């Protein structure tokens, strides 16, 4: 009899612990900062977000510059810059654009001298000693690399926090097509975008949205470019076309059932896509380049 009571007590303890885990998970996924009101016209509880589906344009300056190719003469050198590296600083001066590199390399006090170059390689910071070489055609010093410093592309808003304006455009990062590397964000903008075409997805080949970014209509700020998508803040209070609130929760609340995809697949209007009418949506990106 005592053993049975002990077993019942243990089962009750397990149930209480599991319930506590569920509640803490829900709290983790639904807690929002409420000290900044984004749109007071929407009455939302703490575990609700504005449903997305809007297509927007992203344009941001990188925190560093991405190396996408090298001149052949430099490829033979050891301990040098590699394709895929992100140049973070030269002589302790932060690098945010290709122009920054040229200015430092050709400054009067550094002409032809060895430089301290800090790069990010596979999420590790590496410090290199590099002496630029004179390019006789341009009569300027260069590192022998091609770099990209600016990112633009389009994507679909997944949700907007009605309390803070924080948004997520979930799916994947905007990456460089040649290296597959992610360029971190220094600063950037979110703009209005109109869809002009769709490349239908197929097995092994994701679809694409083709759109036109309107920089006349600024919607907010880009803050992060991650493996899971783009994050930032929507500052335009009128940007809530669906005006539809949905509940969010932890992964333990996910259950099999019917689902509806909301997306912008024509012009600028959000539509619900179901069954065979679903069109694959994704980010399309381009980066500006230069040789240094």
Instruction: Please check the confidence at residue 219 and state whether its pLDDT lies above 60.
Output: yes
Q: What is the mean pLDDT of residues 48-59?
A: 89
Q: What local confidence, expressed as pLDDT, does residue 254 receive?
A: 82
pLDDT band at 105 (very low <50, low <70, confident <90, very high): very high
Q: What local confidence, expressed as pLDDT, does residue 266 receive?
A: 65
pLDDT band at 20 (very low <50, low <70, confident <90, very high): very low
Instruction: Please check the confidence at residue 248 and state whether its pLDDT lies above 60.
Output: yes
pLDDT band at 161 (very low <50, low <70, confident <90, very high): very high
* pTM: predicted TM-score of the whole model, two decimal places: 0.70
Q: What local confidence, expressed as pLDDT, does residue 234 receive?
A: 93
Q: What local confidence, expressed as pLDDT, does residue 193 receive?
A: 85
**Cα separation, 3 vs 237, whole angstroms:** 62
Q: What local confidence, expressed as pLDDT, does residue 240 receive?
A: 67
Instruction: Please check the confidence at residue 265 and state whether its pLDDT lies above 80.
Output: no
pLDDT band at 13 (very low <50, low <70, confident <90, very high): very low
Instruction: Please check the confidence at residue 191 and state whether its pLDDT lies above 50.
Output: yes
Identify the burial level of 103 via C-beta atoms within 10 angstroms of its C-beta, where 0-12 means exposed, 13-18 middle and 19 or more buried. middle
Q: Strand 86-90 relative to strand 55-70: parallel, antiparallel, unpaired?
A: antiparallel
Q: What local confidence, expressed as pLDDT, does residue 136 receive?
A: 86
Instruction: Please check the confidence at residue 287 and state whether its pLDDT lies above 60.
Output: no
Q: What local confidence, expressed as pLDDT, does residue 263 receive?
A: 78
* Nearest C-alpha neighbor of 206 from the set 171, 231, 157: 171
Q: What local confidence, expressed as pLDDT, does residue 198 receive?
A: 78
- pLDDT over 90 percentage in the chain: 24
- pLDDT over 70 percentage in the chain: 72
Of these ranges, 83-97, 139-153, 179-193, 243-257, the one predicted with the greatest mean pLDDT is 83-97
Instruction: Please check the confidence at residue 49 and state whether its pLDDT lies above 60.
Output: yes
* Nearest C-alpha neighbor of 151 from the set 56, 55, 62: 62
Q: Strand 229-234 relative to strand 166-170: parallel, antiparallel, unpaired?
A: antiparallel
pLDDT band at 241 (very low <50, low <70, confident <90, very high): low
Q: What is the mean pLDDT of residues 243-254?
A: 83
C-alpha angle 233-234-237 in degrees, rounded to nearest 5: 145
Q: What is the mean pLDDT of residues 60-79?
A: 76
Instruction: Please check the confidence at residue 30 and state whether its pLDDT lies above 50.
Output: no
pLDDT band at 125 (very low <50, low <70, confident <90, very high): very high
Q: What rounded mean pLDDT belongs to the chain?
A: 75
Q: What is the mean pLDDT of residues 109-124?
A: 90
**Cα separation, 266 vs 257, whole angstroms:** 27
């Amino acid at each position: 009899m005592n053993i049975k009571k002990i077993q019942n007590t243990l089962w009750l303890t397990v149930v209480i612990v599991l319930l506590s885990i569920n509640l803490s998970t829900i709290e983790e996924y639904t807690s929002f900062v409420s000290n900044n009101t984004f749109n007071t016209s929407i009455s939302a509880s703490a575990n609700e977000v504005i449903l997305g589906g809007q297509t927007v344009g992203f344009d941001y300056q990188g925190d560093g510059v991405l190396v996408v190719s090298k001149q052949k003469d430099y490829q033979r050198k050891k301990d040098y810059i590699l394709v895929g590296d992100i140049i973070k600083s030269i002589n302790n001066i932060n690098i945010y654009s290709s122009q920054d590199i040229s200015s430092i390399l050709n400054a009067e006090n550094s002409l032809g001298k060895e430089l301290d170059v800090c790069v990010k390689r596979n999420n590790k910071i590496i410090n290199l000693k590099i002496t630029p070489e004179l390019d006789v055609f341009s009569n300027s010093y260069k590192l022998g690399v091609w770099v990209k410093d600016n990112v633009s592309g389009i994507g679909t808003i997944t949700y907007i926090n009605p309390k803070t304006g924080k948004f997520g455009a979930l799916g994947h990062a905007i990456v460089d097509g040649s290296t597959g590397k992610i360029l971190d964000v220094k600063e950037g903008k979110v703009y209005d975008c109109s869809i002009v075409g769709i490349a239908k997805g197929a097995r092994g080949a994701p679809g694409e949205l083709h759109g036109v970014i309107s920089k006349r209509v600024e919607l907010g700020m880009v803050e992060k470019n991650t493996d899971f998508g783009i994050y930032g803040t929507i500052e335009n209070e009128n940007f809530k076309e669906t005006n539809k609130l949905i509940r969010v929760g932890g992964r333990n609340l996910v259950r099999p059932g019917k689902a509806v995809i909301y997306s912008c697949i024509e012009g600028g209007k959000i539509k619900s896509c179901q069954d065979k009418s679903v069109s694959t949506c994704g980010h399309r990106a381009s980066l500006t380049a230069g040789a240094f």
